[in-house]
A and B are shown apart, each in its own frame.
Chain A
Amino acid sequence: MISREEVLNIANLSKLYLDESEIEDARKEMDGMINFAKKIDKIDVDFKDLPEFNSISNAFHEDEIKESYPQNKILESVDGGKDGYFYIKKFN
């Protein structure tokens, strides 16, 4: 069972504030999540035996330059960035 201290530590790292009343619920919920994921342990996985891993090798790209994306396209996903850069504002 996940401990009270662990819950508080995770809350702290996630910058979440938990009420005293919420702590016990969070313990149960996180425990449930971890137990759910533990089902994976029962599967016998030996990565070496996965056929895709061994049937292909040496997939290379040739060392020839292809055009990169234009800067504005690259920065589109971050609202255009700032001065051509990805921009991370100082946080306090």
Chain B
Amino acid sequence: MRYDLVVGLETHVELNTKTKIFCNCANKFGSEPNTNCCPICLGHPGTLPKLNEKVVNFAIRAGLALNCEVNLISKMDRKNYVYPDLPKAYQISQFYDPICKNGYIELDSGKKIRINHIHMEEDAAKLVYKGGDTYVDYNRGGVPLLEVVTEPDISSSDEAKEYLEKLQMIMRYIGVSDCKMQEGSIKCDVNVSVKPEGSDKLGIRTEIKNMNSITFMAKAIDYERERHIEIIENGGKIMQQTLRYLPETNSTESMRSKEDAQDYRYFRDPDLVDIVLTKEQINEIRNSLPELPGERFKKYVNEFGISENDAVLLVKYKNVSDYFESAIEGLKNVKTVSNFIIGQIFRSLETEAEKEEFKILTAPNQINELAKLIESGKLNMNLAKKALIKMLESGKPVTEFVSESDMKGISREEMKKMCEEAVKANENAVKDYLSGKEKALKALLGSVMKQTRGRGNAQEIEEILKGIIVK
């Protein structure tokens, strides 16, 4: 029998606000333990949490960028569970009235992965286990999160990967999160089930918790798919349970089964008041959104004629794409710039992190200046590329590396004169060429090119040389 895979994702996105969600402690990664804490984020009795205005703004931005409706009234709820990472014994989250609902992310295939809702909540503390003892660092407790919950619309591990990459990219573009997986600023819980091909009835699902690598998430989905199918084929029944993925063995193990599934006793948090928004406020935020990666991709391919492969590289990181956008101002042929970025500039940036940061010495207007010299025919590509390398090393403008005479180009008369001199000075090479050695012409060409200091056009020179020799 053939099976359909059914996957839903719940993704936690850590917001890059300056402060925590309910107090003014710093939202900072990597501080000394328990140094970004106060009685509010430690849940001491008698303290009163107040929602961070910026978190609401970011949640709306995210919602709009993910094609969601924004609820004009939303509320905070308590999710009750007892664990050392939660000093209040409840997490403040949104359950009954989340801030955004009914959105989607469109995959390259055109398929839409529906988003059920987005809610705001606080992160829990970090637990460190040493020798059986537990150490708790509450710096992360109260860090603002958005949870983006999809419908079970994903039907392969590749789609899950693409969805998550797109979500990551969009969150970075709108500036609400760095989405650094290695720092845990984006994590997801994966719901997996299988059903007979084409069937309407969903199978029993298992949930893999806390995936913080896209590669492992894809592997975990594939592993679970096989495991489910094997159980069903052998006449067994899938047990609904929560799992942990083990990268070392590429397998999953049970964390808890449905029988001891927690009842979170959600209820409205009486410490926090309603969040009431106006349509004007939402529209204002909508107007402040930047162009999103999907829109830029389409523009690059359809309007600029850039290849899809190159366009993917350009939009992947916002810094790169912003750089490109400002470097192409006023240019007719923007491909020169995209080639410079993907070629020469990327070559100087080794890691993905460096590409993402895109900290280079050359400013976009300097690239623009260079490209304009090429476009106007004042500088040939050969010299431009040489100049670019020096520009990238020094941060100096193109005018430092090309002289007035370089930019003047070279006339056909001048080239002819140089060719004639070269033919006179290299009688042997000429003889060799006439006796059939094609290579001999290359030597002549090289010496003329050198004399033009790269300004000449090799094809044109070759043509002139042949003309002289054959005469």
Contact of B33 among A54, A68, A85, A88 (CB under 8 A): A85
Selected contact of A57 from candidates B32, B33, B132, B273, CB within 8 Å: B273
Stretch at the interface among A3-11, A25-33, A59-67: A59-67
Q: Does B220 contact A (CB under 8 A)?
A: no
Q: Is the CB of A68 within 8 A of B37?
A: yes
Nearest-neighbor residue (CB-CB) of B28 within chain A: A65
Q: State which of A56, A66, A68, A88 has its C-beta within 8 Å of the C-beta of B136.
A: A88
Q: Which residues of A contact B138 (CB under 8 A)?
A: 74, 86
Residues of chain B within 8 A (CB-CB) of A74 are: 34-35, 37-38, 42, 138
Residue on A nearest B275 in the bound complex, by CB: A58
Chain B 37-60 interface 0/1 with A at a Cβ cutoff of 8 Å (1 = within): 111001000000011111110000
- A2 shortest CB reach to chain B, Å: 19
Contact A90 B35 (CB under 8 A): no
Closest A residue to B271 by beta carbon equals A59
Q: A72–B19 Cα gap in the complex (Å)?
A: 21
The answer to whether B34 touches A90 (Cβ under 8 A) is: no
Are A68 and B25 touching (Cβ within 8 A)?
A: yes
Is A86 a contact of B19 with CB atoms below 8 Å? Answer: no
Distance between Cα atoms of A75 and B35 in the complex (Å):
10
CB-nearest residue of chain A relative to B26? A65
Q: Are A86 and B135 in contact (CB under 8 A)?
A: yes
Query: B71: CB under 8 A from chain A?
Result: no
What 1/0 flags go to B112-143 for Cβ under 8 Å of A? 00000000000000001001111111100000
Distance of A83 from chain B, by nearest CB (Å): 7
Give chain A residues whose Cβ lies under 8 Å from the Cβ of B18.
63-65
Contacts of A75 in B (CB 8 A): 34
| A84: interface (CB < 8 Å) | yes
Say yes or no: B34 contacts A61, CB within 8 Å: no
**Neighbour of A69 across the interface among B37, B131, B268, CB < 8 A:** B37
Smallest CB–CB gap between A7 and chain B, Å? Answer: 21
Instruction: Give the contacting residue for B133; candidates A56, A60, A71, A88; CB below 8 A.
Output: A88
Residue in contact with A64 in the complex, picked from B24, B38, B137, B274, CB distance below 8 Å: B24
| Residue from the list A47, A54, A84, A88 in contact with B268, Cβ < 8 A | A47
A42 proximal to B (CB < 8 A): no
Which single residue of chain B is at the shortest CB-CB distance from A81? Answer: B34
The residue that A60 contacts in the complex, of B36, B42, B52, B137, with Cβ under 8 A, is B52
Question: In the complex the two chains form, what is the Cα distance from A82 to B131 in whole Å?
Answer: 14
Q: How far is the CB of A47 from chain B (nearest CB, A)?
A: 7
- Of B23, B33, B54, B132, chain A has the most CB atoms within 10 Å of the CB of B33
- For chain B, residues 432 to 468, give those with C-beta under 8 angstroms from any C-beta of chain A: none
The reply to whether B50 and A85 contact each other, CB–CB distance below 8 Å, is no
Could you tell me if B32 and A63 are in contact, using CB atoms closer than 8 angstroms?
no
Which A residue's beta carbon lies closest to that of B134? A88
Question: CB distance B273 to A61 under 8 Å?
Answer: no
Interface centre among A63, A64, A69 (most CB of B within 10 A): A63
Name the contact of A90 in the complex, choosing from B52, B84, B132 (C-beta under 8 A): B132
Is B273 within 8 A of A58, CB to CB?
yes
Q: How far is the CA of A59 from the CA of B270 in the complex (A)?
A: 13
Cβ-based interface call for B193 (8 A): no
Please tell me if A89 contacts chain B, counting CB pairs below 8 Å.
yes
**B19/A63 in contact, CB under 8 A:** yes
Interface flag for B353 (CB, 8 Å): no
Which residues of chain B come closer than 8 Å to A68, judged between CB atoms? 25-26, 35-38
Select which of B36, B133, B268 is within 8 A of A87 by beta carbon: B133
Q: Is the CB of B131 within 8 A of A61?
A: no
Residues of B within 8 A of A62 (CB): 24, 53
Q: Output the nearest chain A residue to B272 by Cβ-Cβ distance.
A: A59
CA distance A65 to B52 in the complex (A): 11
Q: Does chain A have a CB within 8 A of B177?
A: no
Docked-complex contact B273 and A84, CB < 8 angstroms: no
Q: How far is the CA of A58 from the CA of B75 in the complex (A)?
A: 10
- CB <8 Å contact, B24 and A85: no
| Contacts A71-B32, A85-B128, A86-B135 given; does A61 touch B23 at CB 8 Å | yes
Of A58, A59, A65, A82, which one neighbours B19 at CB under 8 angstroms? A65
Nearest-neighbor residue (CB-CB) of B49 within chain A: A61
Contact A71 B25 (CB under 8 A): no
Q: Contacts of B135 on A, CB cut-off 8 Å?
A: 82-83, 85-88
Question: In the complex, which residue of chain B has the Cβ closest to the Cβ of A54?
Answer: B274
- B1 lies within 8 A of chain A by Cβ: no
Contacts of A82 in B (CB 8 A): 135
Minimal beta-carbon separation of A46 from chain B (angstroms): 12
The proximity string for B residues 261-291 relative to A, scoring 1 for CB distances below 8 Å and 0 otherwise, is: 0000000101011111000000000000000
Binding site for A on B (CB under 8 A): 17-19, 22-26, 32-39, 42, 50-56, 84, 128, 131-138, 268, 270, 272-276
A-B contact pairs, 10 of them (CB 8 A): A57-B274, A63-B17, A63-B19, A65-B19, A66-B25, A68-B26, A71-B35, A84-B32, A84-B35, A85-B135
> Which 6 pairs across A and B sit closest by C-beta, in order of nearness?
A90-B132, A85-B135, A63-B54, A66-B24, A60-B53, A86-B136
Residue positions of A touching B, CB distance < 8 A? 47, 53-54, 56-66, 68-71, 74-75, 81-90
With A64-B24, A88-B134 given, name 5 new contacts (CB 8 A). A59-B51, A61-B23, A63-B17, A85-B135, A89-B133
